[in-house]
């Protein structure tokens, strides 16, 4: 699956969903730094993609990039609230609090 998605992107068919899915797969495999790259690109391509913001912030938190996680989660919460995606906003608020504690 990862290889097919990467080949699709390499062939010029880059989409936010492809990037999100690749980020999710890398996250599940423990390759957090590669996941961050794909998730950052997903939200760059579609700034309203609240699920991508959530996983992006969570992955940064898990990778120990607490200050960056705080920035991303803050943006993600705003996006999710604007989109009416209250569940994603609540989950990101939990991750935000964890990142804030870890950054202290």
* Structural domains of the chain, with CATH: 2-103 (1.25.40.10)
User: How does pLDDT run across 37-87, given as a tens digit for each residue?
Assistant: 999 999 999 999 999 999 999 999 999 999 999 999 999 999 999 999 999
Predicted pLDDT at 35: 98
CA of residue 13 relative to chain centroid, distance = 20
8 A C-beta contact, residue 20 and residue 42: yes
With cut-offs at 50, 70 and 90, classify the pLDDT of residue 5.
Answer: very high
Predicted pLDDT at 17: 97
With cut-offs at 50, 70 and 90, classify the pLDDT of residue 89.
Answer: very high
8 A C-beta contact, residue 36 and residue 53: no
DSSP symbols for 10-71: HTT---HHHHHHHHHHHHHTT-HHHHHHHHHHHHHH-TT-HHHHHHHHHHHHHTT-HHHHHH
Predicted pLDDT at 29: 97
Taking the CA atoms of residue 76, residue 51, residue 100 and residue 97 in that order, the dihedral angle to the nearest 10 degrees is 110
Rounded mean pLDDT of 22-27? Answer: 98
Predicted pLDDT at 94: 98
């Amino acid at each position: 699956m990862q290889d097919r998605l990467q080949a699709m992107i390499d062939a010029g068919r880059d989409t936010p969903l492809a990037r999100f899915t690749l980020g999710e797969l890398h996250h599940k495999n423990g390759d957090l730094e590669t996941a961050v790259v794909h998730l950052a690109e997903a939200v760059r391509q579609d700034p309203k993609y609240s699920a991508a913001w959530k996983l992006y912030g969570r992955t940064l938190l898990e990778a120990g990039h607490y200050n960056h996680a705080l920035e991303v989660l803050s943006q993600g919460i705003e996006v999710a609230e604007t989109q009416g995606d209250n569940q994603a906003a609540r989950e990101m608020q939990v991750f935000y609090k964890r990142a804030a504690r870890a950054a202290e």
